[in-house]
Structure 1
C-alpha cells in the first residue's frame, strides 16, 4: 500500500511568521511554490501555512499593501497536518473533508514534507499504476 511518505514533496520552504507578505511572495516566486510552511513559535506549537489563496483573498482583495502585512496576520494556524503512514485514500479524505489543497507531513513533531492534491493526482496515480502492474 502506498503511503503519503511515498509521494510527498520532501523539500519544504519555511517562512518566519514575522516576515511580510511581500517577502513570502518573493520566496514563492523564487521557488515556484503555491504555499509556504510558517515556522512555529515553539517546539510543541503547531506549524502554520500560507497559501497563494490566503494572499489573494486576505491581502489583494482587500486592497492591502503586501509590504505592510505580516504573514502571522493572514496565515492559517494551526494548519491541518498529516502523518506519513497514512494511505493516499486517507489523506484524500482528510483533505476533502477539510477543504484544503496542501498540508504539512509531520511525525514526532518533525516536519518531513508537504502533500498537495497535485501530488495525490500526479504522483499517486503514476505510482499506483506502476505497482499494480507488477
Structure 2
C-alpha cells in the first residue's frame, strides 16, 4: 500500500499532466480566438501593436495614421471600403476586407481611394 506522501505525489503528477494537456490547449485556443476576433471593427482599420501603452490602433475609414516611432505591428485588418498603403520595412497595401497576420515594423498607414500605393 502506498504511503500518504506517495499518493500526494501521484495526485500532483496526474493533475500537472492534465493541466498540461487540457489547460495549455484551451488557453492557446482562447488566446488565438481573442487575437483573431478582437481586431475587427466595421469602418476601421485595426492594427494590433506590440506596445504596452497602445496595443491596438483604430484608423477610421479614409483617415491616415502615423506612429511617433516605428512600431511592430503584428496584425492589420481592413474593415473599410478603402485600400490602405502601409509604410513598413517594405511597403505593401491592404485591400478592403483583407487581414494581414504577419509582424511588420510600421511607420505609417495611409488611405488610398485610388487603390494604388507608390511603394
- Relative to the length of structure 1, the TM-score reads 0.23
Q: Which has the larger radius of gyration?
A: 2
Q: Which has the higher strand share?
A: 2
Higher RCO structure, 1 or 2 (CA under 8 Å, sep 6+): 1
Q: Which has the higher helix share?
A: 1
